[in-house]
């Protein structure tokens, strides 16, 4: 069995980590290499960098960030944020990224999923889906950082991206994100039981039990975490030990 | 110097930096004549089998690769880079280099198995006797990182260097003469991965 993966997410803006570990003794608080190395040492299973740069120059610095991180940290790196074309993907992969996460561009141009997975393989294309509850057992896909509704049904869209070749789905609940009140278990379950590619759950984690539930009841294969880790509410080893004690497979 | 083959797709850079981390120099092989400089070869692996083979063929690297492996230089194929060494792959219904006899097959599970494909994440690698020297200084049953939908089935069980369980047991490393192939990504498997790579580069497994 593959183990349940714990994946820290670092937000990067114009080349610096703006949402990362809050640690006084870090030499350079915003240094992506230092932050990634810290989590790698803590046995993070992968690391996600989300580029939230507002400018084209900022976007370009992401390639350098990836290069620096990939020469120091030897666990899988996923990069997301503002990726629009095969060229963008290629630049980041060449810089050392292992997976590319695509959100808005995939909705606007679904053929990008097929083209990119044909070219680079399914394992390196992650489709990020931001879902918002709109009715009983019904969730709508939002794009542009959760601002724009698309009219698309989350479960149908997940099935479609799987068919187009996506290797994983990163599923975020807009309703629960930032609340620390737990995941949208129902949405996670509805997606995971309808597709056979791995689902990474995101949005709403506040307690260790939330994490256990989204795996056990939601059928998630991996968990993406930001503030819970960055603010040191729990360490990765505490999380893994808890999940292991509950009978799940983790890499300790 | 270690030559790392670039065949159009995938993440070459992380293999380059992992080799560097092991204290070895490397360069990128883009065309057949580049092979002359290499005393060891790594064929990294991300991407689709058909596209990979096609690119190797068109660039003339396929023949050069075949020749260099035959000279006995240490060769490491990673993921797709290992699968390509086999006779045939279900992926794209394609012939491989046929350096190791056997097929490449897709993971198939029934819904009640609750197994995801691709197999993505960290799994335990069980070392088999022929792989002992390659996994020197790595305890048995350690975690390595995998990202694949297809796995190899060698005809000869004597080439099996390690196995991994994902729904069922599959071959996660092979060794045949100067050829090593791994399904996991040593360049992405943290410390154990770097030790494995170092072992390969040091070449004691050849003795």
Q: Output the pLDDT for position A118.
A: 85
Q: Kindly determine whether residue A2 and residue B122, on different chains, have CB atoms separated by under 8 Å.
A: yes
Assess A111–B contact: CB distance below 8 Å, yes or no.
no
Partner residue facing A196 (CB), from B117, B121, B123: B117
pLDDT digits (tens, 9 = 90+) for B51-62: 888 888 899 999
Helix, strand, coil % in chain B, rounded to nearest 5 = 30, 35, 35
Q: Kindly determine whether residue A197 and residue B11, on different chains, have CB atoms separated by under 8 Å.
A: no
More confident residue, B116 or A161: A161
pLDDT digits (tens, 9 = 90+) for B180-206: 999 999 999 999 999 999 999 999 999
Best probe of the A interface among B51, B84, B190, B197, by most A CBs < 10 A, is B190
Res. B165 pLDDT band, cuts 50 70 90: very high
Assess A121–B contact: CB distance below 8 Å, yes or no.
yes
Give me the residue label for tokens 């292992």: A98
Q: Kindly determine whether residue B10 and residue A76, on different chains, have CB atoms separated by under 8 Å.
A: no
Contacting residues for A22 by C-beta, under 8 A, at least 6 apart: A230, A231, A232
Which fold does the domain B2-206 belong to in CATH?
Rossmann fold (3.40.50)
Q: Output the pLDDT for position A120.
A: 84
Catalytic residue list of B: 79, 185, 187
Residue ranges of alpha helices (H) inside A11-85 are 32-41, 56-70
Q: Which residues of B touch A189 (CB under 8 A)?
A: none
The helix/strand/coil state of B75 is strand
Contacting residues for B28 by C-beta, under 8 A, at least 6 apart: B3, B4, B5, B6, B12, B16, B34
Partner residue facing A96 (CB), from B17, B118, B120: B17
Q: Kindly determine whether residue A94 and residue B51, on different chains, have CB atoms separated by under 8 Å.
A: no
Nearest-Cα residue of chain B relative to residue A98 = B11
State which CATH number among 3.20.20.70, 3.40.50.1970, 3.40.30.10, 3.40.50.2000 fits the domain covering A5-245: 3.20.20.70
Q: How many CA atoms lie within 13 A of A199 on its CB side?
A: 31
Rounded to whole angstroms, how far apart are CA atoms B88 and B103?
Answer: 5
Q: Tens place of pLDDT for every residue, chain A, 252 residues?
A: 579 999 999 999 988 888 777 665 555 568 899 999 999 999 999 999 999 987 778 778 899 999 999 999 999 999 999 999 999 999 998 888 999 999 999 999 999 999 999 888 888 899 999 999 999 999 999 999 999 999 999 999 999 999 999 999 999 999 999 899 999 999 999 999 999 999 999 999 999 999 999 999 999 999 999 989 998 899 999 999 999 999 999 998
- Percentage of chain B beyond pLDDT 70 is 99
The domain segmentation of chain B, as residue ranges, is 2-206
- The answer to whether B99 touches B69, Cβ cutoff 8 Å, is yes
Q: What is the DSSP letter of B107?
A: -
Partner residue facing B46 (CB), from A2, A45, A121: A121
Res. B28 pLDDT band, cuts 50 70 90: very high
Assess A64–B contact: CB distance below 8 Å, yes or no.
no
User: Residue A85, Cβ neighbours under 10 Å: how many?
Assistant: 13
Rounded to whole angstroms, how far apart are CA atoms B43 and A114?
Answer: 25
pTM of full prediction above 0.90: yes
Q: Kindly determine whether residue A71 and residue B10, on different chains, have CB atoms separated by under 8 Å.
A: no
Assess A3–B contact: CB distance below 8 Å, yes or no.
yes
Contacting residues for A28 by C-beta, under 8 A, at least 6 apart: A34
Identify how many contiguous H helices and E strands chain B contains and give both numbers: 5, 13
Q: Output the pLDDT for position A121.
A: 84
The helix/strand/coil state of A179 is coil
Partner residue facing A45 (CB), from B122, B148, B191: B122
* Residue A238 region by backbone torsions, left for phi larger than 0, else alpha for psi between -120 and 50, else beta: alpha
**What phi and psi values does residue B26 have, to the nearest 5 degrees?**
-140, 165
From residue B28, alpha-carbon distances to A31, A103, B42, B118 in Å are 29, 33, 10, 28
- The answer to whether A6 touches A236, Cβ cutoff 8 Å, is yes
- Percentage of chain A beyond pLDDT 70 is 96
Report the gap between the CA of A158 and the closest CA in chain B (Å).
Answer: 14
The helix/strand/coil state of A32 is helix
Helix, strand, coil % in chain A, rounded to nearest 5 = 35, 25, 40
Q: Output the pLDDT for position B136.
A: 97
Best probe of the A interface among B13, B14, B91, by most A CBs < 10 A, is B14
Least confident of A22-26, A87-91, B17-21, B98-102: A22-26
């Amino acid at each position: 069995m593959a183990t349940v993966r714990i994946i820290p997410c670092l937000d990067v803006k114009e080349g610096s980590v703006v949402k990362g570990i809050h640690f006084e003794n870090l030499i350079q608080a915003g240094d992506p290499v230092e932050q990634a190395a810290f989590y790698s040492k803590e046995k993070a299973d992968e690391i996600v960098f989300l580029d939230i740069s507002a400018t084209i120059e900022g976007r370009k610095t992401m390639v350098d960030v990836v290069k620096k991180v990939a020469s120091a940290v030897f666990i899988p790196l996923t990069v997301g944020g503002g990726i629009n074309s095969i060229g963008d993907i290629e630049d980041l992969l060449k810089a050392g990224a292992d997976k590319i996460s695509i959100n808005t561009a995939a909705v606007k141009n679904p053929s990008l999923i097929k083209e990119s997975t044909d070219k680079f393989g399914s394992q390196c294309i992650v489709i990020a889906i931001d879902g918002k509850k709109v009715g009983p057992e019904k969730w709508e896909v939002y794009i542009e950082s959760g601002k724009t509704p698309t009219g698309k049904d989350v479960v149908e869209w997940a099935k479609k991206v799987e068919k187009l070749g996506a290797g994983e789905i990163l599923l975020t609940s807009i309703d629960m994100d930032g609340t620390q009140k737990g995941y949208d278990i129902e949405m996670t379950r509805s997606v995971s039981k309808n597709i056979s590619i791995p689902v990474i759950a995101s949005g709403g984690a506040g307690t260790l039990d939330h994490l256990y539930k989204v795996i056990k009841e939601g059928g998630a294969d991996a968990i993406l975490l930001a503030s819970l880790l960055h603010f040191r509410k729990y360490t990765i080893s505490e999380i893994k030990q808890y999940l292991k004690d509950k009978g799940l497979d983790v890499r300790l | 110097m270690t030559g790392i083959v670039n065949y159009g797709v995938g993440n070459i850079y992380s293999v380059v930096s992992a080799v560097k981390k092991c204290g070895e120099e490397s360069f990128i092989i883009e065309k057949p004549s580049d092979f002359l400089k290499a005393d060891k070869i790594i064929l990294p692996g991300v991407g689709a089998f058909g596209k990979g083979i096609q690119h190797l063929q068109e660039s003339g690297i396929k023949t050069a690769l075949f020749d260099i492996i035959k000279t006995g230089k240490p060769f490491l194929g990673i993921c797709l880079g290992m699968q390509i060494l086999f006779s045939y792959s279900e992926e794209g219904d394609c012939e491989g280099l046929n350096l190791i006899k056997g097929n490449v097959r897709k993971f198939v599970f029934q819904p009640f198995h609750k197994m995801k494909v691709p197999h993505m994440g960290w799994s335990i690698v069980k070392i088999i006797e022929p792989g002992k020297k390659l996994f020197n200084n790595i305890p048995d049953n350690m975690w390595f990182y995998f990202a694949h939908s297809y796995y190899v089935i060698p005809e000869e069980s004597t080439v099996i260097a390690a196995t991994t369980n994902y729904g069922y047991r599959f071959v996660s490393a092979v060794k045949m003469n100067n050829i090593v192939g791994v399904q996991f990504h040593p360049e992405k498997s943290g410390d154990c991965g770097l030790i494995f790579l170092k072992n390969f580069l040091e070449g004691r497994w050849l003795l």
